[in-house]
Structure 1
Amino acid sequence: MIIIRLRSGLGNQMFQYAFFKQMQAWHGADNVKLDISTYHWKVHNGREIDKIFNVDLSKDSVPSKVSLKYADVGYQFHHRVLRRLRGIKHRSYRFWKDIAFEEYKHLKDIYLEGYWNEEKYFKDVEAEIRETYQFDFNLNSEESELLELINDKESVAVHVRRGDYVKYPKAFPMCKPSYYQQAQSLLEREGKKFHYFVFSDDLDWCKQELQFLGNVSFVENPDKSAAFKDMFFMSQCKHNIIANSTFSWWSAWLNNNPDKTVIYPESALKTYGEMPRGWIKL
């Protein structure tokens, strides 16, 4: 059996689940399962993917035999315990970057951990993933007005990721105001005017640093447990200026505008590798 660990925030969960469906397509549904046992750990909003999208993890996951509340005593110890619980041999743990892409089609009896945050890892099941990642929630009056404004304008979603990135700038390069200014110049180089919708976990910083955008709305989302709504609204904009963030990536990928412009920072290449065709690097 092939077991894939589901972990981290929503954007990463979406990549991991998409890769999981690709692996099922290659190896058969009965031979590929998810490990969701570590989601008592609160990372961002915890396990969200099955709460937001039509995803049934109960039929796709291996059963948890023991709570891994002691797993945080050591990363390697955690994997040793995890493999033992799953009945997997010691040498059968692999990290995603240690595996060549074509090798995934021939794997057997292995525990996989990683992010698989490139389109190639789910390209064969793209239609299924687009169908699965459909947002379904009731809009309140303010949200309905926002969606109407997004649809009426030549809208650009601007995503600014700060939060935990501020604590670890070397590990997670943040986009500077100059990046967003260059992206704006690129969009407006032919004189076209846009309405910018800024989404962020630090809107106070954005209001101070991104006023140069001019025709701009700073979108408030006071409910931190419903951050997925930001992804939805960003995906409804006609264009996207994304940050170095998987959350950003999915908002742009789920944008169905055939004429969309997506701009991403060069630092994202270290995180994602090859970006989707047509996206513009700055």
Structure 2
Amino acid sequence: MASTRPEICAGLQGGLGNQLFQYAAGRALAARLGAELSVHPRARGAAGIKAVGLAELGLTPRMRTGHGGPLRRAALNLAKPIARALGRDVVKTPPGWRGRIHRERGFAYDPVFETLQGSWYLAGYFQSWRYFAAIADELRADLRAGAEAALPRDAELPDLSGDSVSVHLRLGDYADPANARIHGVLPAEYFAAACARIREARPDARFFLFSDQPREARARLSGLDLTVVEGGSRAADLALMARCRHHVIANSTFSWWGAWMGPGGITVAPRQWFAPEKQAGMDLSDLFPEGWIRV
């Protein structure tokens, strides 16, 4: 017999940090509605499915795949000009989807989310802690457990007790000139100011550098007293970042989660999350939890 429960399907896009926001919003809505939870890679083909990083943290919701056959794709292509004229994107839901579509209407938290009933496909980034505040303790425990399970068992791990501070510098795709219009790499001056803020409050703080390119990151921040940490995988890096008492995050959802999963010390975040031109006029107030310091 087919299930009569509603279903919440979270469309996944972006890297692991982005996917965690989308998953968390979907999980919170499913919990409120007593609904089934599924996820759907919005990128077409095997590459999109392989890019799903949730399993690295032990998260295994039902996976919906595909975007339909040639006729459906042709219909979606015909709908694109109309959608563009309305200032909207065509949402490629999975084959057989019968629920409604909830499109993110802006970067800030949308209270309409609290009124949704029935089955919904979530299309957007949902980058606010407020979307999943109701399940925060449960979600944090699950993410910590999944990340810890990814730590290498035969490697010597750093001592992150006491006033340890994770410092994350994202390079990789951010260093690509094409990405400078969206994010771009934060300057060394930000990290110096952020570390100084923590040092003022915690004179005995020890700073640990995390990056997708550790050597290059160390060279860029050569003026700071940092110990480079290499966890061995994205999940392992998250586990070690979350073990730190305090955090200096990059303009990256990856280190956002490393700080959010942590024990609740001092977190410093950049005021410049996006490139200046892109960030102009955007409301970022719901991205950062209460108490986080912006520099």
Matched, 1:35 2:30: no
1:8 Cα shift? 2.1
Paired amino acid for 1:243: A
Compute the RMSD of aligned alpha carbons: 3.4
Q: Which residue of 2 aligns with 1:95?
A: 103
Q: Does 1:57 align with 2:70?
A: no
**Residue of structure 2 equivalent to 1:6:** 12
Letter of the 1:111 counterpart? Y
Check conservation: 1:3, 1:110, Cα contact below 8 A: yes
Cα distance, 1:121 vs. partner? 0.2
Moved more, 33-42 or 109-118: 33-42
| 2:205 counterpart of 1:189 | no
d(CA) in 1 for partners of 2:259, 2:94: 39
Q: Structure 2 counterpart of 1:117, which letter?
A: Q
Structure 1 residue 47: Cα displacement? 1.2
Q: Structure 1: how far apart are the matches of 2:224 and 2:269?
A: 17
In structure 1, stretches of 5+ residues that fail to align are none
Q: What is the DSSP-based 3-state SS (H/G/I as helix, E as strand, rest coil) of the residue aligned with 2:190?
A: helix
Deviation digits for residues 35-62 of structure 1 (CA, Å, limit 9, x no counterpart): 2474745469711212322x2323xx44
Q: What pairs with 1:191-206 in structure 2 (closer than 5 Å)?
A: 192-206=203-217
Q: Contact (CA 8 Å) 2:174, 2:183: kept in 1 or not?
A: yes
Runs (5+) with no aligned partner, structure 2? 1-6, 82-88
Contact 1:19 1:116 in 2 (8 A): yes
With over 3 angstroms needed to count, the CA separation of the structure-2 counterparts of 1:230 and 1:43, relative to structure 1, is: farther
**1:126-164 Cα distance to aligned partner (Å, 9 max, x none):** 12212221221353343x332xx222x531110001111
Matched AA of 1:139: P
The alpha carbon displacement at 1:28 in A equals: 2.3
Aligned residue pairs total 264
Structure with the bigger percentage of helix: 1
Tell me the equivalent position of 1:16.
22
Question: Partners of 1:264 and 1:51 in 2: how far apart?
Answer: 25
What SS does structure 2 have at the residue aligned with 1:35? strand
Kept in 1, the 8 Å contact 2:163–2:204? The answer is yes
The CA distance in 2 between the partners of 1:64 and 1:46, in whole Å, is 14
Which of 221, 230, 237 aligns to 1:230? It is: 237
Go from structure 1 to structure 2 and tell me whether the alpha carbon gap of 1:44 and 1:229 turns closer, same or farther (over 3 Å shift).
farther
| C-alpha contact 2:103 2:124 (8 A) present in aligned 1 | yes
Q: TM-score, normalised by structure 1?
A: 0.79
Give the deviation of 1:245 after TM superposition. Answer: 0.6
Q: Residue 26 of structure 1 contacts residue 105 of structure 1 at CA under 8 Å; is this kept in 2?
A: no
Is the alpha carbon distance of 1:220 and 1:43 closer, same or farther for their aligned partners in structure 2, counting shifts above 3 Å?
Answer: farther
- Cα shift at 1:203: 2.1
Cα distance in 1 for residues equivalent to 2:65 and 2:188: 46
